[in-house]
Amino acid sequence: MLIDTRIVVLGGGPGGYVAAIRAGQLGLDCVLVEADRLGGTCLNVGCIPSKALIHAADEFHRLASYARAPRHGIAAAAPTLDFARTVEWKDAIVGRLNAGVASLLKKAGVKTLRGHGRMTDGKTCVVDTDTGRVTVKAEHVILATGSEPIELPALPFGGKIVSSTQALELTEPPARLAIVGGGYIGLELGIAFAKLGSRVTVIEAADRILPQYDADLTRPVVRRLDALGAEVLTATRALGESAAGLEVLCADGTRRRIAADRVLVTVGRRARLKGWGLEGLDLAMDGGFVRVDERCATAMRGVWAIGDLTGEPMLAHRAMAQGEMVAEIIAGERRAFHPAAIPAVCFTDPEIVSVGLSAEAARARGHEVITGLFPLAANGRALTLAAEDGFTRVVARADNHLILGIDAVGPGVSELSAAFTLALEMGARLEDITCTIHAHPTLGETVAEASYKALGQALHM
């Protein structure tokens, strides 16, 4: 079968499906090709199932902690965990969102082809569907094949060595869980499993966990890992796994064996470059990623690339924003991808949010800066939530008070990311924040308080 269309999108992850929906809404003929389930990594094996597991683990751990030691006058009996029901609940959320994406695509008039796609040239995608081969010829191609976990040669996936995908499919929390890689996934899932009762050991090659974040932001997470009984080995490398356990080389040169029922390897992800015909296209590369310009155009005319395939930060909201933009460009709009900031949120306990520049990064760019840090311990709402380990911090230009960065660490601060990003995107100055009435009592007040502090006008400190 042959389909002639304006756009073919290869990959139905957040980047791909958002591009397709927007294209359809703009009246462009669009075919979306997805080999697996709609929603890609994010919806099926990433953002959504991991956050469901994190929430369930929080609830279980909270009840268990009330059972161990009553707090605020509340005592509880020890909770029981029916993990199969937890997994069912998580899978139901994924299923509901899968169906939601399918219906949004249909509503936008997008034709979805379920099957593995392969580009045979810059205009043609051959798709092997259950009912036979379909050739899609398109004026524009949007490549959105996403990313996959990096495998360590010494710890190939299989058996007890698992990637995040298999970790999210476990039928029970492992009694002993070793995690190689103390980054986003290792810590989000590691903390969740520790709360579900696993004895967790994190092995991180760098000299601290979450090395991509400012050290001040990660300290409360280190404290929490400690309180949860998780062991964190930094500057440590995993050498291999045998019946005797996971062998690691520690910072001091000694070797240790860590007994583990599962070894979760989360040492980063790489762009999915194989299996879809990249070798037959004339694309420029940027290391292991497809090179794109500010419009997500590749080196070939009419071929666009978005999302994890195009590099860091490998985040769902970046992929979606790029997808939306490319559809609008194809529809004739003048667009370029120049966000003031792409928010980074780590759903650890406590959560971390980082938007824009740190003071150090701002100085490295030649800015003279002023900063303000407001501790959660001085915020009424944080105290009522028993959530006082953390802070909100602002970085602004010293000359005109333009905000360059805002970050925070604390329970529930992921929800502040929208306000932080909006402030940067709208070019807010410290005075814009202090002149905004922030509802009381909320964690959001810490942004105003941090801004007052940067101006040397602290109100509540």
Q: How far apart are CA 131 and CA 139, in angstroms?
A: 25
List all residues 6 or more positions away from 105 whose beta carbon is below 8 Å from its beta carbon: 17, 20, 21, 24, 32, 38, 112
Residue type, 421: T
408 binds ligand NAD per the rule CB under 6 A: no
- E-state strands within 236-306: 237-242, 245-249, 255-258, 262-265, 269-271, 285-286, 289-290, 303-305
The 202-221 contact track toward ligand NAD, x by CB under 6 A, reads -xxxx----x----------
Q: Cα–Cα distances in Å, from 262 out to 174, 199, 207? A: 6, 11, 24
Which of 355, 328, 334 is CA-nearest to residue 416? 355
User: Which residue in the list 61, 317, 438, 440 is annotated as catalytic?
Assistant: 440
Per partner kind, with CB cut-offs from 5 to 8 A, the member of ligand NAD, ligand FAD, none near residue 319 is ligand FAD
Q: How far is the CB of 266 from ligand NAD (least distance, A)?
A: 4
356 binds ligand NAD per the rule CB under 6 A: no
Residue 19, H or E segment: helix 14-25
Question: Any catalytic annotation for residue 72?
Answer: no
Residue type, 95: G
Per partner kind, with CB cut-offs from 5 to 8 A, the member of ligand NAD, ligand FAD, none near residue 182 is ligand NAD
Among positions 121-150, residues that touch ligand FAD (CB under 6 A) are 144-147
The 254-293 contact track toward ligand FAD, x by CB under 6 A, reads ------------------x--xx-----------------
Classify residue 65 by burial, with Cβ atoms within 10 Å: 0-12, 13-18, 19+.
middle
Binding residues for ligand NAD, rule CB under 6 A, total 26
Of the candidate spans 14-22, 75-83, 261-269, 280-288, the one that interacts with ligand NAD by CB under 6 A turns out to be 261-269
Classify residue 366 by burial, with Cβ atoms within 10 Å: 0-12, 13-18, 19+.
exposed
309 binds ligand NAD per the rule CB under 6 A: no
Catalytic residues, by residue number, are: 440
Question: Which residues bind to ligand NAD, rule: CB under 6 A?
Answer: 152, 180-186, 188, 203-206, 211, 237-238, 266-269, 313-315, 345-347
Question: Which residues bind to ligand FAD, rule: CB under 6 A?
Answer: 10-16, 33-36, 40-42, 46-47, 50, 116-117, 144-147, 164, 185, 272, 275-276, 307-309, 314-317, 319, 347
